[in-house]
Structure 1
Amino acid sequence: MMQLQQFSSTDNLNADFAARLVDILQQAIEQRGAAYLVVSGGKTPQALFNTLSNTDLAWDKVTVLLADDRWLDANQPDSNERLVKATLLQNKASNARFISLYADTASAFTGAAEVLPRISALPTFDAVILGMGEDGHTASLFPCSAQIEEGLSDGAPAVLAVEPQTAPYQRMSLSLPRLLDSRHIFLHLVGSNKLTVLNKAMAEHDVLAMPIRAFLHHPVAQVTVMYSDN
């Protein structure tokens, strides 16, 4: 199920979004003593991350991890881990705990066994922030990958190695069931081209063609789309 929330500007979107996330994380800390936040990489969330990093919160009780990452050392420019550490885990948020999806192995496929226990042991997430590509992929659940059916299956492991055919690098991605195991799920979109892709995803139900549909059309999960034209 999908709920679309449109904003007049990215500034307004980020201010509202940051406030919602802080409320969710604060409530989790008050009720359970800890909070778990899953974020995505790319350009879209960077301003949101900067806003969050300057927000008052018991960040030492917050665990942050990525929905997916490229199989790269965190010092590499294309690493999502590098981006999150440089934008979100700064200022007041510098005390948050971060769980990496990377291991020092040559291949994501050989490293998956090391990463899996880190993620499978985690409780239900409090908030998941997804992105969406032009092809309808989310996290690293790519329609072009040989691993897409496994990643979307009910019995998928918490994380799996993925090798997309239309994007560089092997990836480590949380699976559909692991991402769905969250109290709140958001899809963060900016730009009219992303609204076009969203409308296409909503119009049909083939999840292998556009994996984001597995979230948008899920019979139980509520996905809140946070959208601005610019």
Structure 2
Amino acid sequence: MYQLHLFDTPNAMNTALATAITANLQDAINLRSKASLAVSGGPTPVELFQILSQAQIAWNQVYITLVDERWVDKHHEDSNERLIHTHLLQNKAKDAHFISLKTIAENPYDGVDEIQTRLQQSLPLPIDALVLGMGDDGHTASLFPHAENLYKGIDMQSDRLVIDMKPLTAPHDRISLTLPVILNSRHLYLQLNGKKQQQVLEQALAGKNINDMPIRAVLHQQKLPLQIYLAQ
């Protein structure tokens, strides 16, 4: 269950997506005096973060976390947390509350329970707006094709908020939000950029095997409308 929004340029896409997310957060603040946002890393959302950081909302009532994180130091160039601090938690958004998906544990398997507790205690749930990305291999969040722990991450009966993950197709061990948390969010977005990602999307829509392309678990579900923002 999805709706596809097409844009001629990345800037047009990011501006529209930022406007939608800002409205979601403002609605949540109006209703509950707090709002939650989960975002993905990588190069695609950088401009989105920069636009969002200028939004005129009460950022001190907004709680931000990541959809997934690589198990690296927060100053490492591959750290999503570093990306968030550099591009999103700036300007007006510097007053938002950030909830890290990283601990001092040596690996995500030893840190996952601490992060589960941290999110339960600090993150307003359900998440008001959640932005996914997608890899060329069809992964989303850190739910990777044929990973050993994938079945736990996509189990809709699970009460886990986060799961540890060892990708077969990417470097670094990971921590990831689980599919139940993703599909329980109030507003769900998939942000895509360029012809290559459009082709991967078409491939994912054409098949059913989730182990081959975990993004299919989001595309083919009937629980929550997925808003796909694609710059062609």
Q: What secondary structure is seen at the aligned counterpart in 2 of 1:29?
A: helix
Aligned to 1:163: 166
Q: Aligned Cα RMSD in Å? A: 0.9
| Matches for 1:4-15 after TM superposition, within 5 Å | 4-15=4-15
1:28, 1:165 → 2: CA distance? 38
Q: 2:194 aligns with which of 191, 195, 203?
A: 191
Aligned to 2:118: 118
CA contact under 8 A between 2:154 and 2:178: conserved in structure 1? yes
Mean CA deviation greater in 92-101 or 203-212: 203-212
Q: What secondary structure is seen at the aligned counterpart in 2 of 1:30?
A: helix
TM-score normalised to structure 2 length = 0.96
Aligned to 1:205: 208
Aligned to 1:150: 152
CA shift, 1:207, in A, is 1.2
| Matches for 1:122-137 after TM superposition, within 5 Å | 122=123, 123-137=125-139
CA contact under 8 A between 1:144 and 1:166: conserved in structure 2? no
Question: Is structure 2 residue 88 aligned with structure 1 residue 85?
Answer: no
Q: What secondary structure is seen at the aligned counterpart in 2 of 1:60?
A: helix
Cα deviation 1:44-85 (Å, max 9, x = unaligned) = 000010011112110000000000000112111110000001
Aligned to 1:29: 29
Aligned to 2:185: 182
Mean CA deviation greater in 168-177 or 8-17: 8-17
- Unmatched tracts of structure 1, length 5 or more: none
- Unmatched tracts of structure 2, length 5 or more: none
CA shift, 1:11, in A, is 1.1
2:40, 2:216 → 1: CA distance? 17
Count residues with an aligned counterpart. 229
Mean CA deviation greater in 94-103 or 107-116: 107-116
CA contact under 8 A between 1:28 and 1:35: conserved in structure 2? yes
Aligned to 2:141: 139
Mean CA deviation greater in 115-124 or 161-170: 115-124
CA contact under 8 A between 1:143 and 1:210: conserved in structure 2? yes
1:146, 1:87 → 2: CA distance? 33
Letter in 1 for 2:133: G
2:60, 2:217 → 1: CA distance? 33
Q: 1:217 aligns with which of 216, 220, 231?
A: 220
Cα deviation 1:29-51 (Å, max 9, x = unaligned) = 00111000010000000001001
Aligned to 1:75: 75
CA shift, 1:15, in A, is 1.2
CA shift, 1:133, in A, is 0.5
Aligned to 1:50: 50
CA contact under 8 A between 2:101 and 2:115: conserved in structure 1? yes
2:172, 2:146 → 1: CA distance? 13
TM-score normalised to structure 1 length = 0.97
1:74, 1:161 → 2: CA distance? 17
2:55, 2:222 → 1: CA distance? 34
CA contact under 8 A between 2:139 and 2:214: conserved in structure 1? yes
Q: What secondary structure is seen at the aligned counterpart in 2 of 1:179?
A: helix
